[in-house]
Amino acid sequence: TTTTTTTDAKSSSTATTTDPTTGCMSGSGFVDEGDVGLNQCPDPEMCTCRDGKFVDCHRRRKEFVDLFSWEREAFINAYLTVTQGGGSLQARYELIASEHHRLFFTAIHTQQFFLTWHRWFLLAVEDLLREVNPCVTIPYWAW
């Protein structure tokens, strides 16, 4: 919210107006630009409001078998959109997948930094999925 204060010289009064266009709507109300609030996902996440959108959300991942049916459907729909929907999302996904494939055949799986290396790829794909649906996270599978 942008607050503007004006002073009327004749009456010496001050009026404050609020501009509701700079901020984010959360499940519990309006969040000012730069502040932290809950997004509007069914399972709300704590996020920062920036440029009218919630970003830097604290993501909560679930095991695939623990997802509600709507969460599974949202994940699958976002994945299909990113991987088969064409456009820039699919192009960006294919770049990530191509790089992963290229490095897969090196000795990457024997390196001590493998887990952090692979986590970066998962996060990059998840960020694409969240452009389709900001409530989606990549589930994990507990073997």
Query: pLDDT tens digits, residue range 101-131?
Result: 888 888 888 888 888 888 999 999 999 999 9
Percent of the chain with pLDDT over 90: 48
Distance CA 7, CA 16 (A): 9
More confident residue, 18 or 76: 76
Task: Please answer whether residues 78 and 133 qualify as being in contact, where contact means their C-beta atoms are separated by less than 8 angstroms.
Answer: yes
pTM of the model: 0.74
Mean pLDDT of 38-55: 89
